[in-house]
């Protein structure tokens, strides 16, 4: 069997004396969404940060398409085909929507372009095309979230990581974002979705890992989405 687009093995992250992630292992294949759910402080974001090289992992291994990402700088991880949609969107408020998209090109591996790419991103998020000359700071939170995902996609990554994309969004916009993620999966990307909205994530993802206290406690499939009791139990175990 060939290796997954993203493989995390026995990952450990420590901040001083705090053991934030303990021996976490999972993998994401192309054309697959894997959810990472859990309460605040469960180690979800720390896992993403360790993958991106924002924090150094104490132990364990992270590989993308077979190549190790450990001890690499964030810009090099991005250039290896891993795109992060960070928590809080982090769009450049003073730059225009178009300039934000152009920044996304920084990590692209192939020179020149796929001319259809921008069209494709616009199709997924029409709002990005409509407001492309506006400063990104003038967009609403939901529009900024769409821009942040679009910005990650123009890099043509193999793996898309999302850190709480639905945080603070109106339910209608959450629908839009989750629909877009399903469409992105169809295109063959490997998607790792970190979320607090457990039920929706479990329903969308091919499988969802429940993190508590830095450890993987349980893996749920879409069929468990209705069974909230299992999930609640998992949270507080």
Least separation in angstroms between residue 117's CB and other proteins is 15
Contact residues for other proteins (CB under 8 A)? 52, 54, 73-75, 78-79, 84, 86, 90, 92-95, 99, 102-108, 151, 155
CA distance to 65, 81, 136, 140, 157, per residue, from 109 (Å): 15, 8, 25, 31, 9
Could you give the CA distance from residue 118 to residue 114 in angstroms, rounded to a whole number?
Answer: 8
- Which lies closer to other proteins via its Cβ, residue 86 or residue 202? 86
User: Minimum Å distance from CB 204 to other proteins?
Assistant: 24
User: Toward other proteins, which CB reaches closer, 86 or 142?
Assistant: 86
Smallest separation, CB 91 to other proteins (Å) = 8
DSSP annotation of 210 reads E
Cβ distance to other proteins smaller for residue 99 or 206: 99
Give the whole-angstrom CA distance, residue 234 versus residue 54.
28
Residue 149's SS3 state is helix
Nearer to other proteins, 8 or 52 (CB): 52
Taking the complex as a whole, the smallest distance from the CB of residue 35 to other proteins amounts, in Å, to: 21
Phi-psi region of 224 (alpha: psi -120 to 50; beta: other; left: phi over 0): alpha
- Residue 106 beta carbon to other proteins: minimum distance, rounded to whole angstroms: 4
Which residues partner with 62 through β-bridges?
8
Alpha helices in 154-197 (DSSP H): 171-186
Nearer to other proteins, 29 or 87 (CB): 87
């Amino acid at each position: 069997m060939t290796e997954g687009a993203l493989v995390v093995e026995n990952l450990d992250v420590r901040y001083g004396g705090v053991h934030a992630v303990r021996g976490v292992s999972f993998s994401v294949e192309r054309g697959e969404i894997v959810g990472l759910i859990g309460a605040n402080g469960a180690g979800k974001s720390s896992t993403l940060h360790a993958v991106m090289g924002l924090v150094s992992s104490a132990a364990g291994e992270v590989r993308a398409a077979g190549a190790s990402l450990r001890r690499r700088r964030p810009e090099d991880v991005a250039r290896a085909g891993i795109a992060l949609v960070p928590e809080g969107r982090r769009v450049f408020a003073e730059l225009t929507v178009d300039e934000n998209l152009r920044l996304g090109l920084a990590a692209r591996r192939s020179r020149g372009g796929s001319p259809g790419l921008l069209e494709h991103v616009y199709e997924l998020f029409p709002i990005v095309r409509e407001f492309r000359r506006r400063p990104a700071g003038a967009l609403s939170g939901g529009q900024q979230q769409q821009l942040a995902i679009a910005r990650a996609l123009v890099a043509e990554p193999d793996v898309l990581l999302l850190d709480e994309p639905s945080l603070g969004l109106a339910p209608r916009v959450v629908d839009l974002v989750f629909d877009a993620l399903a469409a992105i999966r169809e295109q063959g990307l490997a998607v790792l979705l970190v979320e607090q909205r457990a039920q929706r994530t479990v329903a969308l993802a091919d499988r969802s890992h429940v993190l508590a206290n830095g450890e993987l406690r349980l893996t749920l499939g879409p069929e468990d989405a209705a069974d909230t009791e299992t999930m609640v139990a998992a949270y507080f175990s």
